[in-house]
Amino acid sequence: MRQVILGLLLMLVASPARAVDREAAKGSFRQGNGLYDQDRFRESAAAYTRALEQDPQFIEAYYNRALANEMVDRQKAIEDFRRFIELAPNDPGRKYQVAQARARLQILENLPVYPEALQPSHYVPAAGDYYWQVAARSESEKWTTFPIKVSLGSVSFLNWGQGAREAFNIWKEMFPLELVAAPERADIRVEWESPSGEGHAGEEADWVQIRRVGGELTGRKVAFITVDLSRRWSKDEMRAIILHEMGHALGIKEHSESKGDIMYFQIQEKPHQVVAPVVRYPVFWKSLVSKPSQRDLNTLIRLYNTPGAVVRLE
């Protein structure tokens, strides 16, 4: 038995260490960067893994794989950041990234377990997102307990109430929400009143205000959605307004640049030609987005699963 063990040890000692192929590793790393920039996070993480198999000391690959894994597997991202922190102190040019990695690691380790709708597996890479446009202002506005309780309040116009309820039901299919009757129990409250100041409901982010309710120690944050009662909204317009403002209240504090997203900054009015027997004349009507797009949902998923925007390493 002793001879068998000795023989195995000699074989292990005699086996050459796996050769480091730095050029191949660099190629895999560049491929990972390209996939990461296309929001193809799972494929990107796989490419960085190949780079690390080819060069186990490739510290930039650990850092970038950690960023990709934030949108794939949180525990793997945590492990990658830890490994990067272990290796990077030997590189004086990476002190800033080490500090970033420590900060992200601390946040990731303390994130709650999110509901199924917010899991990275529901991110659709082909749809993309507008994360980089909204991340700076949205980082601190994420909810940590679910479901999020919503009060729609009481409004005297039946069609407005119907539009608001439809908006809630649409978001509820995509996000963990619960409708409550008592406003004091709600995390998001719709207030039906004529607000002061400039702006147009459904178009400006400052129509959603985050306030602290309760005492200094027992207080909690509440998002207040204010709807302008001075304008004659249709039911469909009200549905679009509440859909948009609830997007802000759920965490998207800025706007999308795409007219197909519910978080585009305004309700759109499009001209269309109507053919009459003698003349053509333009007619205008509202073009309302009927539900959050996959880009809207992707942006929320990325906001909740990544601890703020950071640039990957080259």
pLDDT band at 161 (very low <50, low <70, confident <90, very high): very high
pLDDT mean over 202-225? 66
Residue partners of 103: CB distance under 8 A and separation at least 6: 307
| C-beta of residue 83 within 8 angstroms of C-beta of residue 269 | no
Please report the pLDDT score of residue 207 as a whole number: 55
Cβ(293)–Cβ(260) under 8 Å? yes
Of 69-73, 104-108, 180-184, 288-292, the range with the lowest mean pLDDT is: 288-292
**What pLDDT, on the 0 to 100 scale, is given for residue 216?**
57
Cis peptide preceding 147, ω within 30 of 0 = yes
What is the structure's pLDDT at 214? 65
Q: How far apart are CA 305 and CA 149, in angstroms?
A: 21
Query: Which residues make beta-bridge pairs with 210?
Result: 223
Residue 151, pLDDT > 70, answer yes
Residue 63, SS3 per DSSP: helix
* Residue appearing with tokens 């985050």: 210
3 state SS of 283: strand
Q: pLDDT of 2-30, one tens digit each?
A: 554 445 444 444 444 457 789 999 999 99
Give the pair of three-digit tokens for residue 53: 């198999």
Domains defined for the chain, CATH in brackets: 18-110 (1.25.40.10), 130-305 (3.40.390.10)
Q: In which order are the strands placed within the sheet that holds 177-179?
A: 177-179, 148-151, 188-192, 220-227, 208-213
What are the residues whose beta carbons fall under 8 Å from the beta carbon of 222, sequence distance 6 or more? 186, 187, 188, 189, 210, 211, 212, 213
Please tell me the total number of residues recorded for the chain in this structure. 314
pLDDT at 11 (0 to 100)? 46
3-state DSSP helix/strand/coil % of the chain, to nearest 5: 50, 15, 35
Single-letter code of the amino acid located at 55:
D
Amino acid at residue number 151: S
- Using the structure block, give the residue that is written with the tokens 């494929």: 43
7, 54, 6: which is closest to 29 by C-alpha? 54
Pick the most confident of 59-63, 139-143, 263-267. Answer: 59-63
Between 302 and 265, name the one with better pLDDT. 302
Displacement of CA 31 from its chain's centroid (Å):
24
CB-based contact 59:91 (threshold 8 Å): yes
Task: Determine contact, residues 240/200, Cβ cutoff 8 Å.
Answer: no
**pLDDT for res 115:** 95
Confidence of residue 93 (pLDDT cuts 50, 70, 90): confident
